[in-house]
């Protein structure tokens, strides 16, 4: 789920935005578009949610600018927002990884997946909690259907998202009743990841559309704009969970009632991926 679409959905609803990104060009583009869509106040800040001091700084800057801790939206380490009088921390930091564990030669190269997907949400949450308690706000975290369905080739990614669910389920207990928490278990949503952007087994960020088509895009892909609308609606209603596309709920029910069936499907999927991986490896060697 890309940052831009969540940003624009909030902008259409009149949100004031404090946008965070590491890439200045992206910040300027998103901020300009958000203003055109109706946001009355857009403040771009260059920051990295993996740097603790950056997280502390932009939470404090948001409080100073808006007078209180309003709405934050972090997507791929990029964004921060304010929505009306509702205070919501939206954690959407994420990076994909698509590789079979048997193809990995240095497991430490995949450590950034856990860092971005887990700590990239925990750090901002930690610093925002005191302010959200005062305003009886909400926290949103973008997990993934992979945290429940455990598809092959997404082992580290699935683990990082499952860790998010575990942490925020605990926070749901510790922070109630002052702060409500909404988790998202999203399926295949139009994003940079579905276009092939991922952390490779060598530890470098790459874009490979053939890999995405073979590993991730085997099911219908939901549009980012439709998903963003569903997420914002769920946050405003302070729902416990949002699942998109909605048919994934049936998949989760099957996982609970008949886990062997899901495992059988994943096994067939694994064999297909393994064959593609071997063919790709041979093609690379022959070049």
Among all residues, which ones are annotated catalytic? 157
DSSP state of 190: S
Enter the tokens of residue 269: 């999927």
Residues, the chain, total?
Answer: 287
Distance CA 227, CA 203 (A): 29
Among 151, 101, 141, CA closest to 117: 141
Tokens of 96: 């994909």
Q: What is d(CA 89, CA 140) in angstroms, rounded to the nearest whole number?
A: 6
Contacts of 190 (CB under 8 A, 6+ apart): 2, 221, 222, 223, 224, 227
Q: By the 8 A CB rule, do 186 and 244 touch?
A: yes
């Amino acid at each position: 789920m890309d940052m831009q679409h969540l940003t624009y959905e909030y902008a259409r609803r009149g949100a004031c935005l404090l946008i965070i990104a590491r890439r200045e060009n992206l910040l300027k583009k998103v901020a300009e578009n958000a203003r055109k869509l109706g946001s009355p106040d857009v403040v771009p800040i260059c920051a990295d949610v993996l740097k603790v001091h950056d997280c502390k700084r932009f939470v404090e800057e948001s409080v100073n600018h808006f007078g209180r801790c309003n709405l934050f939206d972090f997507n791929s380490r990029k964004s921060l927002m304010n929505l009306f009088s509702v205070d919501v921390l939206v954690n959407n930091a994420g990076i994909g990884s698509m590789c079979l564990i048997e193809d990995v030669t240095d497991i430490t190269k995949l450590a950034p997946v856990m860092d971005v997907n887990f700590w990239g949400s925990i750090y901002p949450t930690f610093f925002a909690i005191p302010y959200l308690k005062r305003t009886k706000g909400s926290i949103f975290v973008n997990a993934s259907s992979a945290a429940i369905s455990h598809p092959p080739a997404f082992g580290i990614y699935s683990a990082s998202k499952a860790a998010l669910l575990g942490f925020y389920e605990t926070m749901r207990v510790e922070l109630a009743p002052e702060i409500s928490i909404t988790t998202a278990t999203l399926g295949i949503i139009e994003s940079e990841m579905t276009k092939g952007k991922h952390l490779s087994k060598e530890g470098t960020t790459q874009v490979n559309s053939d890999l995405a088509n073979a590993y991730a895009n085997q099911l219908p892909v939901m549009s980012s704009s439709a998903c963003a609308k569903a997420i914002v609606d769920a946050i405003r209603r302070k729902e416990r969970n949002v699942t998109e596309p909605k048919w994934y709920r049936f998949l989760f029910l099957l996982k609970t009632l008949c886990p062997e069936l899901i495992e059988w499907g994943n096994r067939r999927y694994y064999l297909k991926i393994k064959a593609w991986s071997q063919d790709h490896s041979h093609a690379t060697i022959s070049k």
